[in-house]
Structure 1
Amino acid sequence: MTLGFEVFPLAENLYKKFADDIPAIEAGAPNRFLQQVTPITASLLKHWFQTDYVDTRGPNFHVGQRDAILSIVYAHEVLATASLQELYAAVAPHAMLDGDVLNEVTLGRNRYPKYAAKMATGTGKTWVLNALLLWQYLNRSADPNDERFTSNFLIVAPGLIVYDRLLDSFLGKLRDETRDFETSDIYAQRTLFVPETYRSQVFGFLQSSVITKHDIGRKVTGSGMVAITNWHLLAGKEDPDFIDDDERSGTKIGAKELARRALPLSPGITTGNALDALDRRYLRGRPLESLKDLPDLLVFNDEAHHVHAIKKGEQTSEVEWQRSLIEIASTKGRRFTQIDFSATPYNETGSGRKRGKRYFPHIVVDFDMRSAMKHGLVKALALDKRKEVAALPLDFASERDEQLRVVGLSNGQRVMLRAGLKKLEILEEQFSKAGPDKHPKLLVVCEDTNVTPYVEGFLREQGYSDEDFLRVDSGKKAELGQQEWEPVRELLFDIDRHRQPKVVICVLMLREGFDVDNICVIVPLRSSQASILLEQTIGRGLRLMWRGDEAIEELKAETRSRITRRQEPRNYFDVLFVIEHPAFEAFYDELLGGELVGRVGDDGDGTRATGDLETVGLREGFEAYDFEIPFVLREADEELTAPLIDPLALPVSKYPLHDLLQIIGNGDRFSSIDAQTKTQFGDYRVDGGVMTATGYNDFLSRITTRIAEAHARAFVATSKQYNTISHFPMLLAYKPMILGWLDTYIRRRLFGCEFDPALGENWRVLLIDDVAQDMAGAVGSLLVEMQANTPIVVAEVMYRRVSEVSEITVRSTAGVDALKCVYPRLPIPSRGGGLERLFIEWADSDTHIEAFVKLHEYQHDFLRRPYLKADGMPAQYSPDFLVRTRHEIFVVETKAQSALSDENVARKKRSALAWVDQLNDLAPEQRGDREWNYVLLGETAVRSWHDKGARVSELLYNARLTAALPSAPTTLI
């Protein structure tokens, strides 16, 4: 049951009005949409969506975000309607005749511009909010008299978790109790959000005008404000740690309680029931009075399913804080605008068979979970239907005594938990091979806080340590107190980067704002059948875990396709497993229309989580096939020489090893604090175990990064000071060398004797902060001193090595073995990879070729070359191969024959030629005594020379291009 319609008429008809203009907007061609908006709006839409701009940057808006932005801009700016009723009249007049839509849109709460974006969890609602805020602010700055725009914004969060996330988004993350604006979303993604022309204006506005809920009504800003609050301020309540669900879920509220909430104060003779007293009490004081006094305001409701009316029988009433919004809007007319964002923009009505959904009437865009899954923007969904789960009786609720007190977990809950833990073990084992930094997690959702301690006890019974799970509920917070709770909260939101905890246990606290990527398994131990709660529970695990790897993206697309065809997935990349009770299967079919939901049974136990994807590391003796690539940083008369340190000449630690081993003892819990970022790492308990090679390598990697980026950063307070002291880019280029020195120093010199980190628990002494700082100081200070005091008269050059990328991913069905390469196996496209396969096999068999490598476009990103496209827009491309002979290094680009005449290919060629000519101007010893050349090969030439029995080295030499030799001899190709 819905509000009069199964589809959303505003969303459907709005899109039809501008759909034909989207290709022209993307192509930069004239179109009706851009002609009907202000010049500011036109410039923003071009910057956000035009292909010329999109191709020059990494992050971009996806199709769902694009449609949300265009729909709201078109409705508000082009149609310029002053109320929801006017919008229906302009877009979908016939829809007002359905059900009680006409009555709904004429109510007081809809007598101003009002829009709702229905966007699936994990699809980036906050980025849409950011874009719309910039659109409003820049237009208002350009024309203060245009009533469609404002520079006053109120952003409302449903609870403290989302509130904190919004503060991070607009003000930046907390660093030593100070927010670093450069980590805010809009600044960090400035190439996407803000055209360069407006950046100083926008950043100045945000840094001066964003205020927290505590400053609303107290802090005055000159050019407008961005006020961020949670809804409790509007409702006049103290901030609870967890959201009261009574009003938003449709639970019946007693008459007395309802009257207390609805009436601003009880009748009394002391106040005389004066209207101004009632109004002030109703608006809950200064913050809301100040919002009411503003001449204009745009309210963004994040997770807006908490805000709207609830229908009980024939009575419709607003939740308490929505009434405050109506009062704030009463002084502004059309200069008040409300934009709501929600994955579940509805309220549930009725119960049992009469249960239904009452959707918001102002939904102008519908990008649902089904669409998000089809586009690969969220994880695919799989229900784990093992036989042991399918055979459970309906005992998913916990065991209770006669007084309904929880006394333990039911047998069904225990089986579901075992299934979830088993699935987690499978993912952990196989994901570690594809991505050592990927740590899948299990989320257990309990019916109430009385159940969570029993889940903890069950995990301990299964052999899990306290560090393996994290309990997050109000009971746990009460146990710890605020001071001890804060580190738990920080760890919760940083779990993606840590192996532990593996399991998160919660009740309802983590429904909104818990935005982590690595939740891969969910076990819902709850009794509620409310679909809004089920959908939000799933939403916690939908965010993508794997991004950017071309081979993995191909496997993920294959998984989505197989699930759609009701086939078992062959890999588990970005699949969310729900260990679900059969009673709730119908919900998933309803949610996704029976599509994109896989059923994983016992037969699926043999499925490899990584499919046919293999992680290929460096081959033994890779140094013989490595490439050292020079980068000219400055063509000048001075150069900073490569650092050279003798680890055995460094000072011995002032901390005796024997004393340190006595201090650390056995089996204690340790944490290492990275002085550079204040990030806690290595937090685990060791019970007589030994340090793994991976753990020691991780320690070496972290301390090397700390030294190379800036030894003194731990002692500066701002990013500007850090930039001032970081003038030694060569240290970053020599990180592998520094790592090797550190390893030698630790093993042979640090403690004045031979030291084996892997022996017993020796490695733990390295995590002592004083030891780590002493070691970093000894190496880092010497490196900086050497770089600052060694001028010589040559160009300034930095070197990078192909082997810096120590692992690449290759599909077993789309890879080629190679002997003369740092990697024993190289990837090729699964479709259309015949030319690259031929080139690899041909080069590998040529005795004149010493080494070659197929570059990975994303991982070898330091080899991308800039160029200007034919339309004048800047872009980058990555060469296909590097090939080394005795006297030459060839930068090789392979192209289909039809692409050789393309103008952009010619421009890439000119950029590459300029690069190799610059390298050839270096002294021979700075480029390995080899000449650099660029080669552009068409498929016809490759196959012709190969079929005639020639060597690939001969083809490369004859086809080389330089400034002096602009094209290869036509008789040879």
Structure 2
Amino acid sequence: MNKNANYIRNRLSLRAPQEESLNILSELYELMQPVKNKGVLSLSDMLNIVKSKYPTCTDFERNFPSICFALATGVGKTRLMGACIAYLYLEYGIRNFFVLAPNLTIYNKLIEDFSNSKHPKYVFRGIADFVQNAPRIINGDNYSQFSGNELFQYVNINVFNISKINSETRKGSAPRIKRMSEYLGDSYFNYLSSLPDLVVLMDESHHYRADRGMTVINELDPILGLEFTATPQTQSGAKYTKFKNVVYEYSLANAIADGFVKKPAVATRKDFDPSQYSTIELDRMKLLDGVRIHENTKAELAIYARDKGAREVKPFMLVVAVDTTHASELKEMIQQDDFFNGYYKDKVMDIHSNQTGAEKDENIELLLSLEEPDNRIEIVIHVNMLKEGWDVTNLYTIVPLRSSASRTLTEQTLGRGLRLPYGKHTGDDNVDTLTIVQHDKFQDIVDEANKPDSIIRIQHIIVLDDTDGNVRKEIITSQSQFEEEIEQRKTVAEQLEGTKKEKEIINIKRDEFILPFLNTVAPKAASFTKEAITTAEHIETFKKTYLEKLKSEGRLFANDEVNEAAERYISIAEKFIDNTIPIPRLSIIPSGNSKLIFHDFDLDTSKMKYQPGSEEIVTRELQSGVQRELAVGRAYFKERYIEDHLVSVLIDKQEIWYDEHKDLLYKLANQAVLHFQSYLGDEREVVNVIINFKIPIAEQIYQQMMAHHEIIHEGFEKPIMKVRPCSEIKDPSISKNVGDRIYDYKESIEPVSAIRNKVFGGFVKSYHKLYKFDSKTEKDFAVILEQDKDCTKWLRPAKSQFQIYYGRPSKEYMPDFVVETPDFIALVETKKKDDVETEQVQSKARAALNYCINATEYNKQINGKPWKYILIPHNAVAVNMSLNNLFHQYEYLG
């Protein structure tokens, strides 16, 4: 990778497939050196060069050299297009680009992505050369506004819609682009075709193989064509023809495996025979199944957002109808009172070509804002309207109610739902999976997907059962037993009268203040004991904080109340310690095969003694030899922050990746700036030094970084204790069916498959009042914990309670239970017997054991209990089993 390619990679944070594509462009352009009308190499010579490097390219299939990058939907073709443009400009000075869009949707999207620097998907963000002199975006509506002289001053990106060019060439007419331009004195088309450095970029290039407009494109006579598509094939009837000019292919299977897109899954009913149902009954059943999946996904996304502190994603469901009449019938069906009790009446829309005027405008507006939280639509019905260019990240369920007519159409339909809302896999299947509800012909697609040469790779088949019924979900947060006790006291207080009620309300508010204070003190304490969290210092801090609160409320006897609260604080602290499990705050992260990391350190600035240079410019007339000095103002710099000048040099180093190392980079750059500020009196002088000596300064920083680097090999990174010795206990968010009751954990549930949909309470030893279980085994184990004397307390950890990661790419692991006994604390996992020896389960176990080893090592320093990891097969869990026997028999030792 040359310097400019490396610069672009870092500035645009390119993913591996994008980076590889840019490397290939860099390599091939240097070998071909395409020059208009003067090229040393003929078209066949250039093809032979490309073929020798990339044998998949056997023909350019154009009248000019044209190479194709086949990247799966969601990987980032538009960003790659921006990277290619930036590279060709920075490396070879190419200024003229012609970008083709296959339809109006992509046309508008490309204009936005290339021109709006404030847009989150702006493709040139970070390219310094385009900050002050942004590329000129010329499109099919404004091209006549630019004069020839003006165009020579910019990088010109012409964005045109191929479908519009096609429509203008019907009946042999010349497209408007080929007609005369009053500004250029010739047609704009002729102006473009005469340019010596025109490069054509074709988005979704499978559209440009047989169109009338391709004749026009060939006549443009560019020096190079770059094609981008997720489906490198054309279809004629049942025949599929693969592209002959592909130099790089990154399939959907690779994108799924690398976590760049959602994992597609197919859902069908258990023991389902479609022949037993009429067409209308089938439609209704598939819609109901789709909505059930949608409701579950909606709940799980809300839970994930709460647990992770992430933005909440509002999912929607896409229904594919046969025709416009069918779409209207489906919409009417969904809007009936007996369809989920009428909940979706105002949450469904249909979109098809028969719509016009205000209805069409309103629907398009709703479509474009589907990712917005306040958009009411949760179901979209379409008739072959939503193909490429309609990019959303919150489509999670697809219900195809028609046979897919083509392999390409099937992939395009799936492609609408593959983009990830958080940009990468989260490790939570509910967040990372796109579900397609099976229809009577969809098995054909599953079979096609499982062929070795298929672009689609269906990962697994989801089997539904009927235990949910047609109900919606609601999210509840399981509170701690302390919080539950306060809620019960509030209910009792409402029944009191007079001064008794007033006093009890005051006491409740006091205790509500104590609990969160304890939650912040306990994790920071030197040890997890009553004495450690009730030191004189902690009590005085509490009294001061509580007094400020009381005074702000105008309490007359604030000092007396504070003293009473301090006594209550001590008694609650004792109960808090007795009921809370101290969880060391460790991060267990797999190191992979090898990884370069930089350890944190402070910059040695002793050899940085730079002095500001003159800010005057010297000019000399070449003919007369007269020399002049021009005084100028403050040294010019583009970067927003002065540290950026140093960071921009450092990220050009091969070993340094901006995304992974930015925190250390900015820390060191800031220390350098502070050093110069310490002996240079004027801020202007500091800027002067940074601007003039940024390369040698950055080189010193780089050399010191390399002295603090380490190559980590297979295993786990040594965990570093965080600021707080222990983690706060997180409250899990769980979903339940609307209207369903809370079940006592001792109740038997039939069928047992329904257990995972129920919420259980009645626990005494658990930290929280409510839990859900994924299986009967987990529920039975909770019964053992509640009844066994060796269990003093337990909890089911919420997501992100631990930072334990396993596998490559790493995924988060959350054990089933945390159990404290008189002698030790255990992470407990219950697993199906046949799965215990699988690599995935063993990989999780090794990561958890590593956590336990390090937690034990830490606890030795504070006289805490050791930690163990227990892996129990499901057939060993029975309510008559003792905890001691299970733990002794199934302790995992690696």
Scaled by the length of structure 1, the TM-score of the pair is 0.47
Amino acid at match of 1:156: L
C-alpha distance in 2, partners of 1:535/1:74?
31
1:131 equivalenced with 2:88 (yes/no): no
- Alpha-carbon contact 1:625-1:822 (below 8 Å) kept: no
Separation in structure 2 between the aligned mates of residue 864 and residue 80 of structure 1, nearest angstrom: 37
How far did residue 520 of structure 1 move?
A: 0.8
Contact 2:587 2:720 in 1 (8 A): no
SS of residue in 1 equivalent to 2:80: helix
SS across alignment from 2:387: coil
Within a 5 Å distance, the mapping from 1:712-731 to structure 2 comes to none
SS of 2:354's partner is: helix
Match of 2:130 in 1: 202
1:474 CA displacement: 3.0
Q: Could you tell me which residue of structure 2 aligns to residue 64 of structure 1?
A: 17
What is the match of residue 460 of structure 1?
Answer: 335
Structure-to-structure mapping, 1:858-937, within 5 angstroms:
866-867=667-668, 871-872=703-704, 880-883=721-724
* Maintained 8 Å contact 1:441/1:519: yes
What do residues 354-386 of structure 1 show as CA deviations (whole Å, max 9, x unaligned)? x22111211111101111111111111111121
Distance 2:443 2:99 in 1: 36
- How far off is 1:304 after superposition? 1.3
Corresponding position of 2:230: 343
Q: Does the 8 Å contact 1:301/1:338 carry over to 2?
A: yes
User: Quick check: 1:158–1:303 contact (8 Å CA) kept in 2?
Assistant: yes
Which residue type is aligned with residue 216 of structure 2?
Answer: S
8 Å Cα contact 1:617-1:823 kept in structure 2:
no
Instruction: Name the CA distance, whole Å, in 2 between partners of 1:478 and 1:460.
Output: 23
Q: Deviations over 1:100-151 (max 9, x none)?
A: x97x65xxx623221111111111111111100100111233xxxxxxxx21
Q: 2:350 aligns with which of 459, 471, 476?
A: 471
Higher gyration radius (CA)? 2
Partner of 1:432: 302
Deviations 1:253-277 (A, max 9, x none): xxxxxxx8473489xxxxxxxxx99
> 2:172 maps to what in 1?
263
Q: Does 1:328 align with 2:220?
A: yes
How many Å separate the matches in 2 of 1:481 and 1:949? 68
Amino acid at match of 1:584: F
Which residue is equivalent to 1:357? Answer: 240
Q: Which residue of 1 aligns with 2:157?
A: 226
Question: What is the CA–CA distance in structure 1 between the aligned matches of 2:580 and 2:13, rounded to whole Å?
Answer: 34
Partner residue, 1:158: 102
1:544 and 2:420 aligned = yes
Q: CA deviation at 1:486?
A: 5.9
Q: Which amino acid aligns with 1:263?
A: G
* 1:454 to 1:826, Cα distance in 2 relative to 1, 3 A: farther
The Cα shift of 1:820 comes to 11
**Counterpart position of 1:295:** 196
Query: Matches of 2:478 and 2:723 in 1, distance apart?
Result: 19
Partner of 1:122: 74
What is the TM-score of this pair, normalised by structure 2? 0.51
Counterpart residue number, 1:578: 436
Corresponding residue SS for 2:431:
coil
User: Contact 1:389–1:415 at 8 Å: present in 2 too?
Assistant: no
**Structure 2: runs of 5+ lacking an equivalent:** 35-40, 307-311, 470-474, 484-514, 524-548, 554-574, 592-658, 670-700, 710-716, 727-802, 805-850, 866-894
Q: 1:560 corresponds to which residue? A: none
Q: Is the 8 A contact 2:79 2:123 kept in 1?
A: no
> Paired residue for 2:366?
488
- SS of residue paired to 1:866: helix
1:46 paired with 2:6, answer yes
Counterparts of 1:72 and 1:394 in 2: how far apart (Å)? 55
Q: Residue 340 of structure 1 aligns to a residue in which SS?
A: strand
Q: Give the deviation of 1:225 after TM superposition.
A: 0.7
Q: Tell me which amino acid in the other structure corresponds to 2:378.
A: K
> Is the CA contact (8 Å cut-off) linking 2:70 and 2:228 kept in structure 1?
yes
Is residue 381–residue 578 contact of structure 1 (8 Å, CA) maintained in 2? yes
Q: Are the counterparts in 2 of residues 84 and 114 from structure 1 also a CA contact under 8 Å?
A: no
What is the alpha-carbon distance in structure 2 between the residues aligned to residue 155 and residue 823 of structure 1? 60
1:66-123: per-residue Cα shift (whole Å, max 9, x none)? 2222222222223446676434422436999x9xx97x65xxx623221111111111
- Answering whether residue 264 of structure 2 is matched by residue 381 of structure 1, we say yes
Inter-partner Cα distance in structure 2 for 1:533 and 1:299: 26
1:831–1:593 Cα change, 3 Å: farther
Q: Do the aligned partners of 2:106 and 2:389 also contact (CA within 8 Å) in 1?
A: yes
Q: Following the alignment from structure 1 to structure 2, what is the Cα–Cα distance between the partners of residues 216 and 119? A: 30
* Alignment deviations for residues 367-424 of structure 1 (CA, whole Å, 9 cap, x no partner): 011111111111111111214755247987xxxxxxxxxxxxx332222212111111
State the distance in 2 between where 1:948 and 1:829 align: 18
- In structure 2, relative to structure 1, the CA distance for the partners of 1:160 and 1:826 (3 Å cut) is farther
C-alpha separation between the residues in 1 aligned to 2:271 and 2:23?
49
Structure 2 distance, partners of 1:865, 1:288, is 48
Q: 1:360 to 1:419 in 2, by over 3 A?
A: same
Q: Return the match for 2:118 from 182, 188, 202.
A: 182
Aligned-pair CA distance for 1:503? 1.0
Counterpart-to-counterpart distance in 2, 1:491 and 1:138: 36
Alignment of 1:811-822 (within 5 A): none
- What SS is found at the alignment partner of 2:89? helix
Aligned to 2:283: 413
Task: List aligned pairs for 1:419-818, cutoff 5 A.
Answer: 419-435=289-305, 437-461=312-336, 462=339, 463-478=342-357, 480=359, 482=361, 484=362, 487-492=365-370, 494-495=371-372, 497-498=373-374, 500-546=376-422, 553-556=426-429, 572-591=430-449, 593=451, 595-602=457-464, 621-626=515-520
Aligned-residue sequence identity (percent) comes to 20
SS at match of 2:324: coil
CA contact (8 A) 1:369 1:592 kept: no
Other-structure match for 1:86: 45
Whether contact under 8 Å (1:380, 1:597) holds in the other structure is yes
> Per-residue deviation at 1:506?
1.7
Task: After TM superposition, give the deviation of residue 469 of structure 1 in Å.
Answer: 1.8
Residue 64 of structure 1, CA deviation: 1.6
Are the counterparts in 2 of residues 83 and 110 from structure 1 also a CA contact under 8 Å?
A: no
The verdict on how the C-alpha distance between 1:544 and 1:67 changes in structure 2, with shifts beyond 3 A counting, is same
Q: SS at the partner of 2:386?
A: coil
Distance (Å, rounded) in 1 between the aligned partners of 2:414 and 2:519: 47
Q: Residues 77 and 440 from structure 1, CA distance in 2 versus in 1: closer, same or farther, beyond 3 angstroms?
A: same
Q: For the residues of structure 2 that align with 1:91 and 1:622, how far apart are their CA atoms? A: 66
SS of 2:320's equivalent? strand
Q: Is the 8 A contact 1:347 1:358 kept in 2?
A: yes
Gap change, CA 1:945 and 1:602, over 3 Å in 2: closer
What displacement does 1:485 show? 5.3
Counterpart contact for 1:140–1:151, Cα < 8 Å? no
Q: 1:230 to 1:420 in 2, by over 3 A?
A: same
Q: 1:184: how far off?
A: 5.6
Structure 1 residues 448 and 289, CA, compared in 2 at 3 Å: closer, same or farther? Answer: farther
Partners in 2 of 1:821 and 1:435 — Cα distance? 27
**Which sections of structure 1, spanning at least 5 residues, go unmatched?**
1-33, 35-41, 142-149, 173-180, 238-259, 267-275, 310-318, 397-409, 557-571, 608-612, 630-739, 745-816, 834-857, 886-893, 896-937, 953-973
Preserved contact between residue 416 and residue 523 of structure 1 (Cα < 8 Å): yes
Aligned residues of 1:625 and 1:820 also touching (Cα < 8 A): no
List aligned pairs for 1:367-406, cutoff 5 A. 367-387=250-270, 390-392=273-275
Q: 1:449 to 1:86 in 2, by over 3 A?
A: farther
The answer to whether the Cα contact below 8 Å between 2:294 and 2:397 also exists between their aligned partners in 1 is: yes
